[in-house]
């Protein structure tokens, strides 16, 4: 009964929104060719708070923050950049801080794992290509109960919605970076679809750029799996698959860990 309730909750969450590219950009971002500086992004809804760790002309560490909001142009966030000074960290008594506008900052996502950072400080303009910083390997192996929500378009007559309660069995080798995701019917116990391929990791997200994707009802086309990651309660991911001739499929899946 507990497992079935969890499944219902997971499916309800999936059906509450259409299948689309939903990305949380919260992570540490950097330019690999320029180690030693970067920006931490923390996203809440349509707002992103950025903390810069950069250096002044004399080489000393300098602290800036930016409060950016989505400006309506794709996944672009822009806002005011601030210079902050404050109480010495070792002071026995906190005596406050001072914050003042110093310029502007814009983060534009070019994918879920890469983007551009443009900012101006005291009239000095900077533009950088940035990507997520990987700190530790992720692993999504496990058995989960949840569901799939997606859509097919341009594939001829018939239902184009994909809505399935599902059990997931995920194998993930951190040695070879290979992942296999089996979608298993909660009623028949049979494999409905299988996705597998070699993954790459940037920050807290995994991507399988060229996964094999095979379903029992006949779908057999390559897929791109992205925004794949473990969550506090299980795992989640999204995919897009092109069958050619204008026929494509996209969607998202998620599950909570299934306990014995």
Of all residues in the chain, the percent with pLDDT exceeding 70 is: 91
pLDDT band at residue 161, thresholds of 50, 70 and 90? Answer: confident
Do 123 and 171 have their domain in common?
Answer: no
pLDDT for position 170: 98
Do 67 and 152 have their domain in common?
Answer: no
CA distance 21 to 114: 14
Name the pTM for this structure.
Answer: 0.85
Residue 77 pairs in a beta bridge with 70, 107
For the stretch 201-213, pLDDT in tens is: 999 999 999 999 9
Domain boundary among the residues 102, 132, 162 is at 132
Do 204 and 248 have their domain in common?
Answer: yes
What is the rounded average pLDDT of the residues 129-140? 97
pLDDT at 15 over 70: no
CB 222 within 8 A of CB 243: no
Tell me which residue range forms the domain holding 47: 31-132
Q: 3-class SS at 7? A: helix
Do 108 and 202 have their domain in common?
Answer: no
CB 162 within 8 A of CB 249: yes
pLDDT for position 188: 95
Domain boundary among the residues 132, 161, 182 is at 132
What is the rounded average pLDDT of the residues 93-119? 96
pLDDT for position 159: 61
């Amino acid at each position: 009964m507990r497992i079935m309730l969890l499944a219902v909750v997971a499916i309800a969450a999936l059906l509450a929104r259409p299948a689309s590219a939903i990305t949380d950009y919260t992570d540490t971002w950097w330019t690999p060719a320029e180690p030693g500086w970067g920006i931490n992004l923390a996203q809440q809804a349509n707002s992103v708070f950025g903390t810069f760790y950069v250096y002044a002309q004399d080489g000393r560490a300098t602290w800036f923050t930016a409060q950016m909001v989505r400006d309506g142009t794709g996944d672009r966030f822009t806002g005011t950049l601030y210079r902050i000074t404050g109480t010495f960290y070792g002071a026995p008594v906190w005596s406050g801080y001072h914050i003042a506008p110093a310029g502007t900052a814009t983060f534009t996502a070019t994918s879920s794992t890469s983007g551009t950072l443009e900012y101006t400080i005291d009239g000095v303009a900077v533009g950088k290509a940035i990507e997520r910083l990987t700190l530790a390997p992720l692993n999504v192996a496990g058995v989960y109960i949840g569901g799939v929500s997606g859509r097919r378009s341009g594939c001829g007559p018939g239902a184009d919605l994909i809505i399935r309660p599902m059990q997931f069995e995920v194998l993930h080798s951190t040695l070879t970076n290979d992942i296999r995701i089996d979608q298993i019917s909660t009623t028949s116990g049979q494999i409905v679809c299988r996705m597998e391929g070699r993954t790459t990791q940037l920050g807290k997200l995994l991507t399988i750029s060229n996964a094999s994707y095979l379903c029992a009802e006949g779908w057999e086309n390559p897929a791109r799996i992205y925004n794949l990651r473990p969550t506090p309660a299980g795992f989640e991911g999204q995919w897009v698959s092109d069958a050619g001739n204008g026929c494509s499929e996209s969607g998202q899946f998620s599950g909570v860990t299934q306990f014995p």
